[in-house]
Amino acid sequence: MLKQSFPAVTGKSGLSFTKKEGDGATPAGIYPIGNMFGTAAKPPGVKSKYTVSHKNHYWIDDVTSPDYNKWVYYNRNPNKKWKSFERLKHVIYKHAIIIRYNENPIIQNKGSAIFIHLWRNSSTPTAGCLALSEANLKTVMKWIDPAKTPKIIIGTPDSIKKEINEYNK
């Protein structure tokens, strides 16, 4: 287990054990790490599947849509299909790691589009994701080995201890 930490920013509403769509909170808990993506090329040394995102890639956060909390390729006007979505061609998504939150099963309104992405700066919160500096994000991306089924633990020191104990039962 790697024992290194990096400064990060969380959602503007802090951490939440009862995450809801649009609440601005980062979901606390233990979650699998998914694939990676970005508007830039895959960094050297990254082992995970990586998709270069472009203008037709969206992550859907419209709670009324059957596409809710899914990555979608769509080459028409997204405003005519969904009430809400994330454009994956965005400066903060130069590089990003998908946190596999709320996906098995997907529960409407529980929260969507949770990633580790670039921060705007060390004091500006996200809309509910985790964010790191570019150098630290690339380091984390290189650490992740999908063959080892990596997970992320998000929480306070006390809640992390509790999550680990529950996970190990």
Q: Could you tell me how many helices (H) and strands (E) the chain has, helices first?
A: 2, 11
Task: Look at residue 3 in the predicted model and tell me its pLDDT.
Answer: 61
Say how far apart CA 103 and CA 106 lie, in whole Å. 4
pLDDT tens digits for range 91-142: 999 999 999 999 999 999 999 999 999 999 999 999 999 999 999 999 999 9
Given 54, 57, 90, 129, which residue is catalytic? 129
pTM of the full structure = 0.93
* 117 part of the active site: yes
Residue 111 in tokens: 């929260």
* 95 part of the active site: no
User: 156: pLDDT confidence band, cut at 50, 70 and 90?
Assistant: confident
Given 54, 57, 95, 117, which residue is catalytic? 117
Tell me the CA distances in angstroms from 145 to 1, 33, 36, 45, 136, one per residue in order.
12, 10, 12, 10, 16
